[in-house]
């Protein structure tokens, strides 16, 4: 969860899309420096948070059907006037259980890789606004480098609204979270061996996992951009809400950043992919 949110934050901090329309020509590649701070919970439902303040290099590559950026690699599978489908992935940081009171004495959570397609359906678009639905389905694997294990899949349909005005580029999305039993077991199960007087045994089930509301805004200048990120998650009604590992029903993630472009390609391309995901 932590690395995913960090990637998401950096992903949306890309300054290249702040002033361009989705189909406008953009440099084939860009390179620069990202500096920012982020405060994020250990995992969804955790009352403990971690803060990150760090500089990171970034690199973006674009072609007609392939995009490499801070979020990973994305390839276009299908496109029509209002629909396109791409393939992408995300990586969630491991969790050290010794540093989380609710998980004390339990096995650490390995890094988790999620991979799968996302269907984008454009509902409405004008010069400054675009409204779309997104339907990502991702298979999840956990790994400690030596072993890889299947952890189910997630389905998080969302409503996504983009607004561009002058130098400002903003996005707001509302996602409804669903996940299968293996995924929920990995994050929220408490086995008989892990049960304690203050941590009852718990068996997770598949189903609804709450909502996620995300707001991102950024402003582009000639060589750099600034912006911020905020995400609110609420587990009310979630199938795993009663897990003793859920110590907080709602979580807030916030961050601020600045990017500086060091170099870019002179060659321009018109990518078929949605650059609002950069």
pLDDT in tens, 86-106: 888 888 878 999 999 999 999
Domain boundaries, the chain: 2-277
- Is residue 18 over pLDDT 50? no
- Per-residue pLDDT band for 66 (boundaries 50, 70, 90) equals low
Single out the residue of 15, 20, 31, 102 nearest to residue 274, CA to CA.
Answer: 20
Cα–Cα dist 29/62, whole Å: 6
CA atoms within 13 A on the CB side of 37: 3
- Per-residue pLDDT band for 30 (boundaries 50, 70, 90) equals confident
CA quadruple 90, 50, 30, 69: dihedral, nearest 10: 0
- pLDDT attached to residue 65: 62
Tell me the mean pLDDT in the region 165-180: 92
Distances (CA, A) of 72 to 7, 69, 108, 158: 9, 5, 25, 20
- pLDDT attached to residue 7: 47
Helix (H, G, I), strand (E, B), or coil: what is residue 181?
A: helix
Cα–Cα dist 225/214, whole Å: 20
Lowest mean pLDDT among 110-119, 160-169, 205-214: 160-169
The most distant pair of C-alpha atoms in the chain lies apart, rounded to whole Å, by 64
Q: What is the mean pLDDT of the chain?
A: 85
pLDDT in tens, 116-168: 999 999 999 988 899 999 999 999 999 998 999 999 999 999 999 999 887 78
Helix (H, G, I), strand (E, B), or coil: what is residue 231?
A: strand
Tell me how crowded residue 278 is: count the other CB atoms within 10 A of its CB: 25
Question: What would you report as the CA-atom Rg of the chain, rounded to the nearest whole angstrom?
Answer: 19
Cα–Cα dist 270/176, whole Å: 32
pLDDT in tens, 221-259: 888 889 999 999 999 999 999 999 999 999 999 999 999
Class of domain 2-277 as given by CATH: mainly beta
Q: DSSP secondary-structure letter at 201?
A: -
Percentages (nearest 5) of helix, strand, coil residues in the chain: 10, 55, 30
Lowest mean pLDDT among 140-154, 176-190, 257-271: 257-271
Helix (H) or strand (E) holding 118: strand 111-125
**Helices and strands (H, E) in the chain, number of each type:** 2, 15
- Per-residue pLDDT band for 46 (boundaries 50, 70, 90) equals very high
Cα–Cα dist 101/115, whole Å: 30
Lowest mean pLDDT among 8-12, 111-115, 162-166, 187-191: 8-12
Between 79 and 213, name the one with better pLDDT.
213
User: Per the confidence metrics, is the pTM higher than 0.85?
Assistant: no
């Amino acid at each position: 969860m932590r690395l995913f949110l960090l990637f998401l934050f950096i992903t949306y901090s890309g300054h290249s899309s702040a002033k361009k329309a989705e189909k406008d020509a953009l440099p084939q590649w860009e390179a620069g420096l990202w500096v920012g701070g982020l405060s994020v919970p250990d995992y969804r439902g955790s009352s403990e948070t971690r803060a990150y303040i760090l500089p990171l290099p970034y690199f973006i590559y674009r072609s007609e059907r392939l995009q490499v950026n801070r979020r990973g690699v994305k390839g276009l599978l299908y496109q029509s006037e209002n629909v396109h489908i791409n393939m992408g992935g995300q990586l969630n940081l491991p969790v050290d259980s010794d540093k989380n009171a609710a998980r004390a004495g339990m096995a650490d959570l390995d890094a988790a890789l999620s991979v799968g397609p996302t269907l984008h359906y454009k509902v409405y678009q004008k010069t400054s606004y675009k409204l779309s639905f997104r339907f990502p389905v991702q298979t999840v694997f956990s790994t400690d480098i030596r072993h890889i294990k299947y952890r189910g899949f997630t389905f998080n349909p969302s409503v996504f609204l983009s607004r561009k005005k002058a130098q400002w580029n903003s996005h707001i999305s509302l996602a409804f979270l669903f996940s299968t039993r293996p995924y929920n077991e990995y994050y929220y199960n408490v086995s008989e061996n892990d049960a304690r007087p203050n941590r009852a045994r718990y068996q997770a089930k598949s189903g609804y996992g709450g909502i996620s509301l995300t707001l991102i805004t950024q402003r582009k200048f000639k060589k750099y951009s600034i912006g911020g990120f905020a995400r609110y998650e609420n587990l009310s009604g979630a199938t795993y809400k009663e897990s003793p590992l859920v110590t907080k029903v709602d979580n807030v993630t916030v961050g601020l950043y600045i990017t500086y472009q060091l170099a870019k390609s002179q060659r321009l391309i018109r990518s078929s992919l949605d650059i609002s995901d950069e």
